[in-house]
């Protein structure tokens, strides 16, 4: 399970450049959002957690992000915005894009990070029950404007 709810920097995507999910500051207690089997069956679920609307995605599921497709990009599960085709990592909320160096003769596209663009929260499963713990809501994320 992964949760996706609700610094422009250009860098190559690799393990050292990614925002680590464990660095998120949690600000709430876990809130029950449903049964794991139900979320797996529907591949996603929208829920309200402490007055915040969140979307819970099932990783193996193959505008409104709850209508987006999940794809593996550079070894990371990402949600693809159905309206804009933006690629956002489920684990960290980073926006990804492909870029080339026009000065290189081969000009092979590489995945780059735009930084964290989407707020993410921690999801835990206990005995088939799924819980969401909100991350730090004090730090503004671009997705807050649209949420």
Spatial separation of the C-alpha atoms in residues 132 and 26, rounded to whole Å: 10
Residue 106 lies in a domain: yes
| Cβ–Cβ < 8 Å for 136, 27 | yes
What value does the mean pLDDT take over residues 105-117? Answer: 84
* 9 pLDDT higher than 50: no
Residue 73 lies in a domain: yes
Residue 82 lies in a domain: yes
Residue 144 lies in a domain: no
Residue 67 lies in a domain: yes
Which CATH number does the domain housing residue 111 bear? 2.102.10.10
Number of domains observed in the structure of the chain: 1
Q: What pLDDT was estimated at residue 124?
A: 86
pTM, full prediction: 0.56
Task: Describe the strand order of the beta sheet including 122-126 as a list of residue ranges.
Answer: 31-35, 129-133, 122-126
Q: How many CA atoms lie within 13 A of 123 on its CB side?
A: 27
Q: What pLDDT was estimated at residue 32?
A: 93
What value does the mean pLDDT take over residues 91-99? Answer: 88
Residue 142 lies in a domain: no
By residue range, what is the domain housing residue 127?
A: 27-133
Q: What pLDDT was estimated at residue 26?
A: 55
Residue 114 lies in a domain: yes
Residue 143 lies in a domain: no
Handedness of CA 43, 93, 50, 142 (dihedral sign): negative
- Write the pLDDT tens digit of every residue in 26-46: 567 889 999 999 988 887 888
């Amino acid at each position: 399970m992964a949760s996706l709810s609700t610094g422009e920097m250009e860098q190559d995507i690799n393990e050292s450049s990614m925002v680590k999910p464990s660095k998120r500051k949690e600000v709430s207690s876990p809130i029950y959002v449903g049964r794991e089997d139900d979320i797996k069956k529907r591949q996603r679920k929208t829920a309200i957690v402490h007055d915040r609307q969140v979307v819970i995605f099932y990783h193996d599921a193959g505008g409104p992000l709850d209508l987006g497709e999940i794809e593996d990009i550079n070894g990371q599960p990402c949600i693809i915005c159905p309206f804009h085709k933006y690629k956002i990592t489920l684990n960290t909320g980073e926006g990804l894009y492909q870029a080339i160096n026009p000065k290189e003769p081969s000009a092979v596209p590489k995945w780059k990070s735009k930084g964290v663009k989407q707020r993410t929260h921690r999801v835990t499963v206990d005995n088939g029950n799924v819980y969401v713990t909100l991350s730090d809501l004090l730090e503004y994320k671009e997705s807050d404007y649209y949420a």
